[in-house]
């Protein structure tokens, strides 16, 4: 009897999944008819197609505004799985969602310009945009006026002005960074296998150095060692004894945002996986073949050490983008801001009217994570939908008041009742509170099919690490992927990597 019920339940859930996927596929191919822009409505300009702004676009009722999106990236990138793309566990297109798909499914037409905002003129309410893509038309630069502006341009890579970083290191923020790393890993391996290469040079070429022990650096180091253990050493056995991954961190430990036990777990797990961690090691200079780092010797004194490398990945956190810095310099209230645009509890840029900021470019006392950016974006969508409703109700009330002035006494009573009803609606609509962030926890993959998680549970916190946490990590990120299409592609990639191994060809 139990088996019969289990079978029925399985059958129903398979049927439901097939139905859901079929509906998603149908929906993808049948976007709705869209209404055209209405000049009487406000121009809402949105800068960026990242976590903050796409979350806003997803929930925004675009019929209420003339929405214009400006971003040099015509897709949304699911960054949590980007480290997996550097070694081919996941193909980069599986975690990209075209912005055109997202916008084409909105009720009202949304304009998209593939361009970079180069300057925001806060006084004149104009965004200056430049087409930075390879193919240029006659017009490459333009001005976009706005009534309302949302800035969600994220952050750029921090280098702290350390010489040689931009010239010689790879970053890990965008798809092309991941592609560059993937190519360079294989280039190092093939160059190290070149005839008559000296043992010292082989060791240098196969020394993979990651600078920055935050989650980006840790996840990448874990993925790279997996690639070596599971695939590379099988296909290129000659590199077996020389391939080596080192993680360099200036602070006394890696993953400072995780609890102490998970930091210890990660460090011991890296030791087992043969990933070297060099803490209290601050990189000061980068050349094409080695880095120079300030180290703390066992006696407490400091010294400089040269560390040769073949591949150098730089993951030392975020810095403010020039367009944001420039806007900060125009607003006196932002004079003391350093890490980005300071915003209030409604995500309004302090000292500016009708300009909002979300995600990594906004400073609202939260960590610069996807989780925060997505919640801020969703909050803004609610705020803008509410503001539009408020405007509509207020316009109706003005109309009714004018009608009431010329109405006969018996009609007046009915109109007054309608006005009161609108007032009640207005009070209900205006009840939207300030933004409040709900932290769901932190997750990071640490290699060898292990992950660490600090997850919020009611008012407490659960810290866990290991293979079960890795399965949780996988299912959590799979469920968070932008679309069903992304989810299916990521699953296929995982299965493909498991059965056939990762691809070691260099594109």
Give contact residues for ligand NAI (rule: CB under 6 A). 162, 211-217, 219, 248-251, 256-257, 282-283, 315-318, 367-369, 442-444
Q: Which does 283 bind (CB under 5 to 8 A by kind): ligand FAD, ligand NAI, none?
A: ligand NAI
Among 43, 71, 94, 334, contact with ligand FAD (rule: CB under 6 A): 71
CB under 5 to 8 A by kind: which of ligand NAI, ligand FAD, none does 363 bind?
Answer: none
- Residue 305 CB, nearest approach to ligand NAI (Å): 12
Q: How many residues bind ligand FAD (CB under 6 A)?
A: 33
Residue 92 CB, shortest distance to ligand FAD, in Å, is: 12
Nearer to ligand FAD, 68 or 236 (CB): 68
Candidate list 72, 212, 340, 465; residue touching ligand FAD; CB under 6 A: 72
Q: Which CB, 231 or 249, lies closer to ligand NAI? A: 249
Distance spanning both ends of the chain, measured CA to CA: 56
Residue 275: CB atoms within 10 Å: 25
Q: Is 171 left (phi over 0), alpha (psi -120 to 50) or beta?
A: beta
Cα separation values, 320 from 9, 70, 235, 324, 340, Å: 51, 18, 42, 7, 6
Which two structure tokens, joined as six digits, stand for 333? 């209230």
Tokens for 75, please give them. Answer: 């897709």
CB of 146 to ligand FAD, least distance (A): 13
Closest CA to 175 of 96, 246, 121, 119: 96
How far apart are CB 9 and ligand FAD at their closest, in Å?
Answer: 32
- Is 157 near ligand FAD (CB under 6 A)? no
| Choices 28-36, 264-272, 343-351, 357-365; region in contact with ligand FAD by CB under 6 A | 357-365
The CB-nearest residue to ligand NAI is: 214
**Rule CB under 6 A: is residue 152 a binding residue for ligand FAD?**
yes
* Three-class DSSP category at 232: helix
Number of other CB atoms surrounding residue 53 within 10 Å: 29
Of the candidates 369, 370, 344, the one whose C-alpha atom is nearest the C-alpha of residue 357 is 344
Contacting residue, 60, 82, 90, 453, with ligand FAD by CB under 6 A:
82
Residues 121-130: contacts with CB under 8 Å, at least 24 apart: 121/330, 122/327, 122/330, 122/331, 122/352, 122/355, 123/330, 125/149, 125/354, 127/45, 127/47, 127/70, 129/70
Of 153, 185, 205, 248, the one binding ligand FAD (CB under 6 A) is 153
Q: Is 205 in the site for ligand FAD (CB under 6 A)?
A: no
Binds 153: which of ligand NAI, ligand FAD, none (CB < 5-8 Å by kind): ligand FAD
**Residue 213 interacting with ligand FAD (CB under 6 A):** no
Q: How far is the CB of 150 from ligand FAD (least distance, A)?
A: 10
**DSSP-derived secondary structure letter, 108:** B
Residue 130 CB neighbour total at 10 angstroms: 16
486 binds ligand FAD (CB under 6 A): no
Distance of closest approach, residue 133 Cβ to ligand FAD, in angstroms: 12
Compute how many other C-beta atoms are within 10 angstroms of the C-beta atom of residue 287: 15
In sequence order, what are the beta bridge partners of 463? 454
CB of 230 to ligand FAD, least distance (A): 21
Sequence length of the chain is 507
- Rounded Cα–Cα distance for residues 151 and 260 (Å): 35
Q: Which is nearer to ligand FAD, 206 or 334 (CB)?
A: 334
In the three-class reduction of DSSP (H, G, I as helix; E, B as strand; rest coil), residue 114 is classed as strand
Contact segment (CB under 6 A) with ligand FAD among 13-21, 73-81, 182-190, 493-501 equals: 73-81
Q: Which residue is nearest to ligand FAD (CB)?
A: 50
DSSP assignment of 381-431 equals: HHHHHHHHHHHHHHHHHHHHHHHHHHS-HHHHHHHHHHHHHHHHHHHHHTT
Q: Taking CB under 6 A as the rule, does residue 214 contact ligand FAD?
A: no
Residue 323 is a binding residue for ligand FAD (CB under 6 A): yes
Minimum CB distance to ligand FAD, residue 300 (Å): 35
Answer yes or no whether residue 321 interacts with ligand FAD by CB under 6 A: yes
Residue whose structure tokens are 């009609």: 411
3-state secondary structure of 164: coil
Whose Cβ is closer to ligand NAI: residue 140's or residue 257's?
257
Cβ-based nearer residue to ligand NAI, 251 or 333: 251
Which one of the spans 147-155, 274-282, 327-335, 411-419 is the region binding ligand FAD (CB under 6 A)? Answer: 147-155
Contacted by 116, from ligand FAD, ligand NAI, none: CB < 5 to 8 Å by type: ligand FAD
Instruction: Give the Cα separation of 84 and 228 in Å (integer).
Output: 13
Nearer to ligand NAI, 88 or 214 (CB): 214
Q: Which three-class secondary structure state does DSSP give residue 458?
A: coil
Angle at 11 between CA 9 and CA 13, to 5 degrees: 70
**Sheet strands side by side (includes 148-151):** 110-114, 66-71, 43-47, 148-151, 355-357
Helix, coil or strand: residue 181: helix
Which of ligand FAD, ligand NAI, none does residue 48 bind to, with CB < 5 to 8 Å depending on kind? Answer: ligand FAD
Site for ligand FAD in 163-192 (CB under 6 A): 172-173
Q: Which residues bind ligand FAD (CB under 6 A)?
A: 47-53, 70-73, 79-80, 82-83, 116-117, 152-154, 172-173, 216, 321, 323, 359-361, 368-371, 373
């Amino acid at each position: 009897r139990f088996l019969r019920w289990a079978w029925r339940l399985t059958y129903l859930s398979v049927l439901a999944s097939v139905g859901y996927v079929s509906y998603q596929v149908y929906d993808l191919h049948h976007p709705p008819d869209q209404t055209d822009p209405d000049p009487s409505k406000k121009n809402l300009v949105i800068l960026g197609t990242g976590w903050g702004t796409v979350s806003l676009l997803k929930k925004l009722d675009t019929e209420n505004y003339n929405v214009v999106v400006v971003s040099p990236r015509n897709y949304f990138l699911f960054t949590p799985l980007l480290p997996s793309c550097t070694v081919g566990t996941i193909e980069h297109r599986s975690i990209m969602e075209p912005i055109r798909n997202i916008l084409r499914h909105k009720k009202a037409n949304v304009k998209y310009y593939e361009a970079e905002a180069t300057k925001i003129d806060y006084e004149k309410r104009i965004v200056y945009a430049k087409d930075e893509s390879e193919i240029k038309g006659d017009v490459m630069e333009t001005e976009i006026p706005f009534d309302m502006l949302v800035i969600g341009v994220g952050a750029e890579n921090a280098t702290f002005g350390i010489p040689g970083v931009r010239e010689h290191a790879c970053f890990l923020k965008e798809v092309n960074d991941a592609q560059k790393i993937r190519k360079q890993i294989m280039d190092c391996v093939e160059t190290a296998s070149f005839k008559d290469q000296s043992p010292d040079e082989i060791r240098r070429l196969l020394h993979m150095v990651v600078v920055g022990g935050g989650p980006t650096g840790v996840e990448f180091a874990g993925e790279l060692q997996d690639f070596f253990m599971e695939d590379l050493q099988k296909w290129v056995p000659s590199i077996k004894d020389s391939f080596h991954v080192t993680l360099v961190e200036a602070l006394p430990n890696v993953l400072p945002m995780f609890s102490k036990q998970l930091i210890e777990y990660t460090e011991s797990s890296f030791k087992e996986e043969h990933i070297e961690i060099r803490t209290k090691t601050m990189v000061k200079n980068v050349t094409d073949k080695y880095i120079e780092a300030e180290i703390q010797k066992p006696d407490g004194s400091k010294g400089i050490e040269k560390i040769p490398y073949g591949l150098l990945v730089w993951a030392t956190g975020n810095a403010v983008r020039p367009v944001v810095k420039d806007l900060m310099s125009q607003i006196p209230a932002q004079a003391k801001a350093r890490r980005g645009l300071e915003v209030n509890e409604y995500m309004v840029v302090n000292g500016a009217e009708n300009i909002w900021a979300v995600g990594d470019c906004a400073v609202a006392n939260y960590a610069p994570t996807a989780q925060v950016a997505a919640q801020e974006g969703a909050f803004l969508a609610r705020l803008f939908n509410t503001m539009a409703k408020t405007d509509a109700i207020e316009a109706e009330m003005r109309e009714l008041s004018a009608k009431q002035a010329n109405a006969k006494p018996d009609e007046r009573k009915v109109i007054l009742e309608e006005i009161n009803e609108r007032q009640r609606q207005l009070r209900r609509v205006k009840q939207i509170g300030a933004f409040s962030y709900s932290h769901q926890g932190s997750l990071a993959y640490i290699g060898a099919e292990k992950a660490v998680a600090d997850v919020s549970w009611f008012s407490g916190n659960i810290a866990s690490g290991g293979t079960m946490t890795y399965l949780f990590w996988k299912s959590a990120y799979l469920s968070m992927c932008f679309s069903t299409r992304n989810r299916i592609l990521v699953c296929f990639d995982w299965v493909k990597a498991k059965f056939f191994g990762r691809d070691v060809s260099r594109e």
